[in-house]
Structure 1
Amino acid sequence: MIKKIISICIGFSILSACNSSDEQLIVGIYEDEHTLSYSQDPINDEDTINEFRKMISEAENVNSSPDDIPTEEPDYFIQIDNYSESTMTMFISIWINDDDSMTITRGLDSDRYILLDNNASQRILDLISEDG
Structure 2
Amino acid sequence: MAVNAKTYSQKPVEVERRWVLIDAETAPTLGRLATEIATYLTGKNKVTYTPHTDGGDYVVVINAEKVKVTGNKEEDKMYYRHSGFPGGLKEASLKEVRVKDASMIIEKAVKGMLPKNKLQEERMKRLRVYNGSEHNHVAQKPEKVEVK
Same fold at TM > 0.5 = no
Instruction: Say which structure is richer in strand.
Output: 1
TM-score (norm 1): 0.27
Q: Which has the higher contact order (CA 8 A, sep 6+)?
A: 2
Largest Rg, 1 or 2? 2
